[in-house]
Amino acid sequence: MCYVYTMKHYKKLSELHRDNGFPPNENPLFSIYQCNGACSIGAEAFTSDFYMIGFKKLKSGVIRYGRTKYDHDSGSMMFVKPRQIIEMRNLHLEEDGFLMFIHEDFLNGHNLHNEIKKYHYFDYETNEALHVSAKEETTIWELYRKIENEYQNNQDEFSREIILANVDTMLKYAQRFYRRQFINRSEISGKTVSKFIEEMDKYVASGFLTIKGLPSVHYMAEKLAISAGYLTDVLKQESGKTALEHIHIYLISEAKNRLMSEDSTVSEIAYTLGFENLSYFSRLFKKEVGVTPVFFKKQSLN
């Protein structure tokens, strides 16, 4: 007999609380839970309709978010979006931590419904927890206490707005702290821009442009062992340009070199650079260089 494993999916917060022995949630669409020494969710990986924000100083245990294990050093925050795979087993914390669950529907009609999608760290997948300093940790806990106070008291027509205002502030601080982390860690691991260009060099040298076409941001991120969202944010912090912009800049630079040194036509060069659409190549080239590739080639010949 063949058994098909079905991953657990939570649509209701009450079900998640019940399955994990948490106290009943005070709001059907929003809940918090403070972890004291140990904190796990479920025996197996699961998905849900909730955003999850977690803070913990992990001593031991396993956290998986997406495809890989999460990186934990000292105080760490993690951010999970709805329908992302999450697994938390046998967690033992050095100090108290917390979990916050926000159902998608809790954001309906509020500015945060759209704003939360702008925080790329909800898309980070590998080794990219936010490592907060002692001062930053104090800020996060102060916001948590404000949310906790509103959550545990008798909720009224103002509660949702006050809770979400503090959640929004926490997310903005997280964005600031991540930028600090990008700067600090780049000094240790080397500039991401340089590594990015090295991978582009390898891609071109291997002839992949003709075989596979233009490299995607996800492909480049995998080569650098980070998620696409994290890669874009790090590059933006270092250079002011996104991962896609760096791919385009690299290819246009390569195109300029080939247009000046090869007898090939513009369409042939565009194809060898991975562009299946000549008009797309021409628009991109003109945007970056200021003239069309045909005009540029004529100029170089003269």
Does 59 score more than 50 pLDDT?
A: no
Write down the pTM of the prediction.
Answer: 0.65
Contact between 76 and 132 (Cβ < 8 Å): yes
Q: How far apart are CA 274 and CA 180, in angstroms?
A: 36
Token pair, residue 231, equals 């890669």
SS3 52: strand
Common-topology check for domains 8-189 and 192-301: no
The CATH homologous superfamily to which domain 192-301 belongs is: Homeodomain-like (1.10.10.60)
**Terminal-to-terminal C-alpha distance of the chain:** 76
44: left (phi over 0), alpha (psi -120 to 50) or beta: beta
Confidence of residue 184 (pLDDT cuts 50, 70, 90): low
Domain boundaries defined on the chain: 8-189, 192-301
Strand segments (E) across the chain: 8-10, 30-35, 41-48, 50-65, 68-69, 75-80, 86-93, 97-103, 130-131
Token pair, residue 242, equals 């996104």
pLDDT value at position 4? 45
Bridge partners, residue 62, by sequence: 89
Does 187 score more than 70 pLDDT?
A: no
Does 185 score more than 90 pLDDT?
A: no
Q: How far apart are CA 167 and CA 152, in angstroms?
A: 15
105-164 tens-digit pLDDT: 999 999 999 899 888 888 775 456 787 888 888 999 999 999 999 999 888 889 999 999
Q: How far apart are CA 26 and CA 10, in angstroms?
A: 17
Q: Which of 59, 68, 60 is nearest to 87 (CA)?
A: 68
- Please state which CATH class domain 8-189 belongs to: mainly beta
**Who contacts 291 (Cβ-Cβ below 8 Å, separation ≥6)?**
299
Provide the mean pLDDT of the chain: 81
